[in-house]
Amino acid sequence: MRGRHRITVCVAAIALLFVAVSSYAKTAATHAKSSSKTKKIKPVTPPESMPASRQTYLVRKGDSLFKIARENQTTPKALRAANGLKGSKIKAGQTLVIPGSQVAEASVEPPKTKSARNEQIAAQYISQLKSQNPTADAESPSARLRLVEAGFNMIGVRYRRSGISEKTGFDCSGLVKSLFSKFNIDLPRSSREQYNQGEEVDRDKLQVGDLVFFSSGGTRPTHVGIYVGDDKFLHAALKAKQVIVSDLNKFWYTMRYLGARRIADLWWDETQATPEEEQ
Same domain, 179 and 262: yes
Give catalytic status of residue 5 as yes or no.
no
Span 13-41, average pLDDT: 56
Residue 235 a catalytic site member: yes
Range of the domain at 211: 141-268
- Residue 27 confidence (pLDDT): 59
The answer to the question of residue 229 being in a domain is: yes
Name the residue with higher pLDDT: 115 or 162.
162
Mean pLDDT, the chain, integer:
79
Same domain, 194 and 76: no
Establish if 235 belongs to a structural domain. Answer: yes
Residue 153 gets which letter from DSSP? T
- Among residues 5, 10, 31, 223, the one annotated as catalytic is 223
Summarize the confidence of residues 60-85 as an average pLDDT: 81
Any domain includes 184: yes
Average pLDDT over residues 58-83: 81
Q: Is 31 annotated as catalytic?
A: no
CATH (domain of 169): 3.90.1720.10
In three-state secondary structure terms, 67 is helix
Domain annotation covers residue 204? yes
Q: Which of 5, 10, 31, 172 is catalytic?
A: 172
For the stretch 207-251, pLDDT in tens is 999 999 999 988 999 999 999 998 999 999 999 999 999 999 999
pTM (two decimals): 0.57
Distances (CA, A) of 231 to 148, 188, 248, 249: 14, 25, 5, 7
